[in-house]
Structure 1
Amino acid sequence: MDTMLLANLSARVGPEDTLWVVGDFAFGPRAKDAKWLNNLFNRLPGRERHLVVGNHDGQATQSLPWTSVSHTAEVADGNGAPSVLNHYPMITWHRARRGALHLFGHVHNQWMGSKNAVNVGTDVWGYVPVTIRDIAQRAKSLPQNRHWQDVERGVEL
């Protein structure tokens, strides 16, 4: 599996690209093996590599030489459109009323997300990395979260 995921990453992430891992970089007994983790990390493509911490990202994973390690991150695409990254799906987030997409994982293929909160887990994307453009396109095809009006009353998407 590692070989396939790394090959897919290398096919889509160039040497000048920025890579965001939205949690669960490694799992299982080897995820505590510093040598194995370093080898895996060193094979990642991209100029910058960021980790948004997931529930399986222990201290060994967080100690790798990431460009940044955080529990939540806010990023903008090339056009300035904001996205909020968190490993866990959230019902609302910073700038949600202003069109910020929320990108999450954790739930695997149990929920694809909604029109403003998209599951970016590799298992729901054919095990290939995705761009913000890919995510925004999928978001348009997803339904509004049924609880959106409960927390963001009067806000249409």
Structure 2
Amino acid sequence: MKIWYTADTHFGHENVIHFCDRPFKSASHMDRIMLENMWKVVKPDDDLRIIGDFAFGASANDAAYLRQIFDQLPGARKHLIVGNHDSDLTQSLDWTSVLLMAEVPDGPKKQRNTLCHYPMITWNHARREALQLFGHIHNKHWSDVEHRKELN
């Protein structure tokens, strides 16, 4: 079993394509390619952790659309770290867990990495090899300090 991470998928969100220079023709094209790419790496017994902003726009308020996308996600366990665009409807899907923040043992040393949709200045075990994984700022650069261990 592996743990896979992603953030800011923004399924169904047309404008994120332009805001973040994503290489897609439309939201439906983006949704299809992202799901295909996830299925290429996430195996049936793996964990998939979405670090916020699963869906956005009118589609995020459509229960049938959200269910259709959710049901296509790969992996045995699907976890949501709540982002600013994750509505109650998104949070009500059959996630294995829905949390604002989590510490997840991962990596060869099983360090407890911190997951939060928002970037942090520090986190538990930051000086002991633990990473902080986040989203929210999309493709903007966050840290100019080389020794920091945040991953956007």
Aligned equivalents of 2:31 and 2:55: distance in 1? 9
Identity of aligned residues (%): 52
Instruction: Mark the runs of 5 or more structure 2 residues left unpaired by the alignment.
Output: 1-29
Mapped partners of 2:124, 2:98: distance in 1: 19
Where does structure 1 lack aligned partners over 5 or more consecutive residues?
120-157
The superposition leaves residues 110-156 of structure 1 with CA deviations (integer Å, 9 ceiling, x where unpaired) of: 1154531110xxxxxxxxxxxxxxxxxxxxxxxxxxxxxxxxxxxxx
Q: Deviations over 1:71-109 (max 9, x none)?
A: 101111153122100000000111112221000000011
* C-alpha displacement of 1:6: 0.3
Equivalent in the alignment of 1:36: 65
2:75 aligned to 46, 70, 75, which one? 46
Q: Normalising by structure 1, what TM-score? A: 0.73
Runs of 4+ in 1 over 3 A off after TM superposition: 112-115
Whether 2:38 is the aligned partner of 1:9: answer yes
**Residues 78, 92 of structure 1: CA spacing in aligned structure 2 closer, same or farther, 3 A cutoff?**
closer
Determine which of 68, 76, 87 is the counterpart of 2:117.
87
Give the alignment's TM-score, normalised by structure 2. Answer: 0.75
2:3 matched residue in structure 1 = none
Match of 1:132 in 2: none
Deviations, residues 42-87 of structure 1 (Å, cap 9, x unaligned): 0000010000000110000000000000010111115312210000
Mean CA deviation greater in 15-24 or 106-115: 106-115
Greater Cα offset, 105-114 or 1-10? 105-114
- The alignment covers a number of residue pairs equal to 119
Superposition RMSD in Å: 1.2
Tell me, in whole angstroms, the C-alpha distance in 1 between the residues paired with 2:38 and 2:106.
Answer: 19
Higher relative contact order, chain-length normalized (CA < 8 Å, sep 6+)? 2
| Counterpart residue number, 1:155 | none
Look up the SS of the partner of 2:139 in the other structure: helix
